[in-house]
Amino acid sequence: MSERFLIRGASVEGGAIRDIRVEGTTIVEVGAGLDAAGARVIDADGLIALPGLVDLHTHLREPGYEASETILTGTRAAAAGGFTAVFAMPNTSPVADTAGVVEQELALGLAAGYATVQPIGAVTVGQQGERLAELGAMARSRANVRVFSDDGFCVWDPLIMRRALEYVKSFGGVVAQHAQDPRLTEGAQMNEGSVSAELGLAGWPAVAEESIIARDVLLAEHVGSRLHVCHLSTAGSVDIIRWAKARGINVTAEVTPHHLLLTDELVRGYDARYKVNPPLRREEDVLAVRAGLADGTIDIVATDHAPHPAEAKSCEWQAAANGMVGLESAVHIVQRVMVDEGLLSWADVARVMSRTPARIGGLATHGTPISAGAPAEITLYDPSGSRVFGTADLHGRSHDSPYLGTSLPGRVVTTMHDGYLTLDDGVLVDAETVAAHAARVATHRVGQSGAAPGARV
């Protein structure tokens, strides 16, 4: 039995104060002074209502690396961070390069129920960069894959990249490139610059990212296709995207919260919590990507949530794994670095963390403005106050966050997915309840549409 909700007095995308009525999986009414009429009232006084956040770049690790994270634990972390949809990167084991694996991921996400899990398919078989994977089969599968990436690895062979860009045109897909020239970054450990020179760590030069992006935007232009650039991190990369867009090239780009805030100076203590790919860059790069996000050159924020077990980070730098978890901290970082500094409004946050990622990924049921008839994907956020971020705030399996012990602003209060709560007044709803809701919604959907069970409707 679904609950009906009345969210009372929320500032919609930071603007007008409205009441929002939800029934079933839909927002049925948005107005002022609405009558509760038996619905559960959620007092949203002082809170901002955003369309449920959408992460275009998450590592859920399942299948294969369940010690780090599972689809269940990763989507719980997502819900705690205000996300209602996550795009799952394919560097699993086995790699998500067939319809079978992506459909399994879809099913696990639907069963868990905390968020929409939209699988990303690998570009090449096993992400080896040699042969195209069955992109068409993945697109036509129940998982309806539209975004393809070899993330973790660069699609380096220019011919393979060209073919992939051409091929996905047939089903409106997009190739999301992890831009890293492997020859220029062999054994690389951190950004190449004055800090790496001093620390004796092999450098990862900015040009290794920029040269691939430059090549790929020109390829996308040449074959008339769409390109997405993952985790853009350098000032030069921002300049290239700006140039490409001015030229009319169909390219989008994402930046991670950590690249909006942290620099390579943090590597000085050899604390492997700061080890990530692409690496933390210079102060000039951080300022450039902030400006790029503010002026729209960079389209979205994506977390690149990368869980790792403790032993993969509590060791010497060279032996440590790359990556940080980021789902629970993302919107707080964006508030601190962009909103509180006047670079983005909350409406912009809705654009870069919900509407645009959903559009790029082709997810029609997310990122829609909060209005009557829209799917009930809503995040309620309290921008006031600040709290020290601790392990209690991490709900995934891994604790590799660089923000532990840092003071971050704001609080995600409520996350609503498919018309039911996954996060209720700052507390995750238990898995059994969420799974029951998800099953109920699925059955209802099947009944309504006549589609096969488990299909995306």
Partner 1 sequence: MSALTHLLDTKTLSRERALAILDVAEDMADTQQREIKKLPTLRGKTVVNLFFEDSTRTRISFEAASKRLSADVINFAAKGSSVSKGESLQDTAQTLQALGADAVVIRHGASGAPRTLAESGWISAGVINAGDGTHEHPTQALLDAFTIRKRLHGVASRGRDLDGIAVTIVGDILHSRVARSNVWLLHTLGASVTLVAPPTLVPQDVSAWPVRVEYDLDAAIAQGPDALMMLRIQLERMRAAFFPNEREYTRLWGLDDARLAALPLGTMVLHPGPMNRGLEISSAAADSARSTVLEQVSNGVAVRMAALYLLLAGDREGER
* Residues in touch with partner 1 (CB under 8 A): 189, 192-194, 196-203, 205, 269-270, 272, 311, 314-319
Give the C-alpha separation, 233 to 298, whole Å.
10
Give the C-alpha separation, 106 to 118, whole Å.
7
Tokens of 230: 């993952």
Determine the angle formed by the axes of helices 207-223 and 235-246, rounding to 10 degrees.
10
Closer CB to partner 1, residue 19 or residue 192? 192
CA distances from 273 to 29, 191, 277, 400 (A): 45, 15, 12, 6
Q: 278 preceded by cis ω (within 30°)?
A: yes
Rounded (10°) CA dihedral 68, 73, 79, 81:
-30
Give the C-alpha separation, 78 to 74, whole Å.
6
Helix, coil or strand: residue 323: coil
- Name the DSSP class of 218: H
Closer CB to partner 1, residue 87 or residue 204? 204
| Catalytic residue of the set 19, 97, 299, 304 | 304
CB-based contact 86:75 (threshold 8 Å): yes
Closer CB to partner 1, residue 170 or residue 194? 194
Nearest distance in Å: CB 179, partner 1: 19
Closer CB to partner 1, residue 50 or residue 280? 280
Nearest distance in Å: CB 229, partner 1: 24
Active site residue 304: yes
Nearest distance in Å: CB 195, partner 1: 9
CB-based contact 179:230 (threshold 8 Å): yes
Give the C-alpha separation, 284 to 50, whole Å.
31
Nearest distance in Å: CB 203, partner 1: 6
Task: Tell me which residue has tokens 């007008």.
Answer: 16
Determine the angle formed by the axes of helices 235-246 and 283-294, rounding to 10 degrees.
30
Nearest distance in Å: CB 316, partner 1: 4
Closer CB to partner 1, residue 111 or residue 199? 199
Nearest distance in Å: CB 186, partner 1: 8
- Name the DSSP class of 131: S
Tokens of 141: 């599968």
Closer CB to partner 1, residue 203 or residue 323? 203
Closer CB to partner 1, residue 324 or residue 353? 324
Residues paired with residue 117 on neighbouring β-strands, in sequence order: 86
Tokens of 66: 């369940």
Give the C-alpha separation, 5 to 295, whole Å.
36
Helix, coil or strand: residue 370: coil
38-71 b/e with 16+ CB inside 10 Å = b? Answer: ebeebebeebbbbbbbbbbbbbbbbbebbebbbb
Measured distance between the N- and C-terminal CA atoms of the chain, rounded to whole angstroms:
20
- Rounded-to-5 percentages of helix, strand, coil across the chain: 35, 20, 40
Nearest distance in Å: CB 274, partner 1: 12
Nearest distance in Å: CB 321, partner 1: 13
Closer CB to partner 1, residue 318 or residue 449? 318
Helix, coil or strand: residue 8: strand
Give the C-alpha separation, 325 to 442, whole Å.
29
CA distances from 32 to 6, 8, 12, 46 (A): 11, 9, 12, 15
Nearest distance in Å: CB 208, partner 1: 12
Closer CB to partner 1, residue 272 or residue 344? 272
Q: Which sequence positions are flagged as catalytic?
A: 304
